[in-house]
Every structure is written in C-alpha cells, then in structure tokens.
Copies of this chain bind each other. A is one copy, B any other.
Amino acid sequence: MSLLVTGSIGIDTVEAPSGKATEALGGSSVYFSCAASFFGPVRLVGVVGDDCPKGFLSPLEQNAAIDLAGLEVRKGSKTFRWHGRYHEDVNERDTVSVDLNVLGEAGATIADKFRDSEYVFLANTHPALQKAMLDQLDGPEFVVADTMDLWINDERESLLDLVGRLDGIVLNDSEAKLLTGEPNVVRAGRKIVQMVGGFVVVKKGEHGSLLFAADDVCAFPAWPSTEVVDPTGAGDSFAGAMMGYLATQPSGDVEPLRRAIAYGTVMASFTLEQFSLGGLMGIGREDIDKRLAEFSRITRF
C-alpha cells in the first residue's frame, strides 16, 4: 500500500545530560519517514525555508525509500526551529525556544502524484491544517493522526471534526486524559475509541503503550533501554514503524496492529540511543527484527 506522511521538518538543537546536538535535522515527518522506510516506500509532504544549509536534508535525499516529491523549499521563508533541554531524568524536558517560521504560514500542497495515497499519517499540527491535507487526497483507505495538548485545549472543536474522519489516533497518556477528562488512562482510551470509531494508541514513553480497538485493550511495556541519549523523535519513529508495517499488511485488524505497535516500540528504542537521526542511520531491517524477537522473548510468561 502507498504510505504518505505530512508533518514538520525542523532544525533541532537538543541539550541532554550526555551531550548536545546543534542545528540537527529533526521534525515529525523526518523521524516518521526514516522509520517507515525500513518497511517500504514512504511519501513525505512538508515545507522548509530556503535557509536550509546545503546537505542538511541528505539523510532523506540518500534514502531511496523516501519520495521527496512533496518536499517544498519555500523562497523567503525560514525553516521551523526547536531548541529543547532534557533533564537529568531524560523523560522530562523543557522547550528553550521554538520558532514556527514556515509552519506558521500556509500549509503544504500535496503533489498530484501523491493524491492516490492509501495509508496516510497526519503528524501533529493544527487540526484544521491536518484536515486541509486530508481534503487534498482522493479518499485514502486508512488515516491516522497524532495531536497534542495545545490543540486539545485551544482547538477542541476543530480536533473533534478531524477525529471523526480518522481510522486511528496516536496520543500521549496526558493528552488522552485531557481530551476526555478521565483520570484513568484505560477509561480515557476506551472513550476515545468511541469518538474515533477505529483504534487508539496511547503512548506512555518509558512506560510503553496501550492499544484500544473496539472493546479490546492491549498493553505493551517499553523496550528496557539503558542508554537514553535523546528521546526527541521517539514518538514519531514509533508512528513511522507502526504505519510502515501496517502498510505491508492486508487490513487494519487488531492482530497486525499489535505487531505494528511492537515494531513501533523497537524503532523508538533505536531512535533514543543517539542524537537526531543517528540511532536510525546505522541500522538495517535485520537489527530491527532481531530486537523485535528479543522484545517478544522478554515479554512472554
């Protein structure tokens, strides 16, 4: 199945207890594409400014599985920038600065050759913009979106409009509680299933994830990482592997979803072991499958 992602491309500066990455390639669609590319081709739709240094996008350009026909370099605009600082406990972070730049302008135009995309992932951005992306597509088969607390608080109506058009949604535990007003994350997930009509993945970072689909709730621990260098992009890598794997499967049933989430868990664990895309650059599909098998072994009883 053809897989398309729309999301941010950013210039990230990350400070963490183990070091610092300055002006490194980041953004939701970047992590997503690199993760999905281990499973098959992926179409990237995103916008950067003309301030991008030469070679900055080479990890995308050199990846034959990532189709960049939807990448717009907008003249006179500046690329999205984010600067974050992780605490000694790397599960906590502060945003030092954020410059929306081109992300605050008009959204991307989806290239004609991408309009027939069957599997679509709308990475986190304003829900009206996510909907505008969806409107440019010729009735995709399977649409999943990410969101964040900002939109749940400030753009609830727009978000609920979008949610009704999705097959699945991926969000954090705190976001799931915020969206539903439910302090119990399992009840929150079950409520969101009713809203979506499809499946819900609640990500809990170092504590794993929960999958909700119809009346079913499945639970997954995280990979037990000992070297957490930079968790930036772990959630987008999770989504990329999940969707990348699902796009190779016949349907959106619960069985392939479970395995898709296990692949997401493993992919996230590679991402956080190095700064920026480092953790995804030096590995192959065989490393991913090896860790998946080990993940299966250590969670059986």
Contact = CB atoms under 8 A, between A and B. Distances in A.
Interface of A: 88-90, 183-187, 190, 204, 206-208, 210, 216-226, 228, 258-259, 261-262, 296, 298-301
A204 B221 CA distance: 11
B222 A183 contact: no
A90 B186 CA distance: 13
Nearest to A92: B183
Contacts of A204: 207
A183 B185 CA distance: 25
A223 B109 CA distance: 44
B296 A190 contact: no
How many copies of this chain does the complex contain?
2
A268 to B, nearest CB: 14
14 contacts: A89-B183, A90-B184, A184-B225, A190-B226, A207-B208, A208-B208, A208-B219, A208-B221, A218-B301, A219-B224, A219-B298, A221-B221, A258-B300, A262-B301
Contacts of A300: 258, 300
A33 to B, nearest CB: 24
Given A207-B204, A221-B219, A226 B184 contact: yes
Contacts of A296: 301
A223 to B, nearest CB: 8
A258 B221 CA distance: 14
A301 B224 contact: no
Given A208-B208, A224-B210, A226-B190, A218 B183 contact: no
Contacts of A225: 184, 186
Nearest to A87: B183
A217 B186 contact: no
A187 B226 contact: yes
A220 B218 contact: no
A300 B295 CA distance: 11
Contacts of A186: 224-226
